[in-house]
Structure 1
Amino acid sequence: MLRLIWTISVHLRTFMRRYTPTNTALDALRSRHGLKWGIPAMLIAIPYLSGASILTSLIDGGAPRWLYAVTLVLIWDALKFIIMGPVSLVMLLRVRATESRQRRALRRPVGPLVRL
């Protein structure tokens, strides 16, 4: 039973990582060229939170209760983008520091020149 649950969760995670738009966008933001877009990508959370607000209003007005699940997914996706902004900034600073160290190491002479 535990093995079946584990297998299902692994396949579900793989499906979600590949085909959901927020996860593919966040994967692109985690790349070296996408790190600079982390802070502006935080604005993507606004439509998700607006959708969650609209759904909550609809549920309060008599819509089916299962829409709370959709609302929860929208809020979760918004939080992922909000958190990714500062995280990408820290990652970008670390990458740039590493690249700077590597450039300095390449400019530095290796050792004394030896003539044969």
Structure 2
Amino acid sequence: MRQVYTLEDSSQSIPLSAWREVYERAPTVIVASVASWDESSARMEALLDEIAQLYGARAPVLRVDVERDRALANALRIQAVPTLRVYARGVVVCEVTGYLPFSVMHERIRDFLPE
């Protein structure tokens, strides 16, 4: 079962409506914005798998490549990479910019995720 949803399997950008559909269905969604050229984003990629293992059953984990998915990155107003956000019913309730070790990231986001 896939835990981190991404566009890596597709050569086309995902429509904004598809992303909206995901976080309208799930009350809480974790969105990670990354760029292939950024070293911190590369480290965040490994962290996403850990986050998905811990939280994936409670909140889908979505990966946005800001280079390939420019329209979505612009719509989400991503200004730095990597950025990890927790959305609750479509509203940002937590945002962490930059790479942080898993223990610190967990500490920052856990209170915003459903039990």
TM-score range, shorter chain: under 0.3
Q: Please report the TM-score for the alignment, with normalisation by the length of structure 2.
A: 0.27
Q: Which structure features the higher share of helix residues?
A: 1
Q: Which has the higher contact order (CA 8 A, sep 6+)?
A: 2
Larger radius of gyration: 1
Q: Please report the TM-score for the alignment, with normalisation by the length of structure 1.
A: 0.27
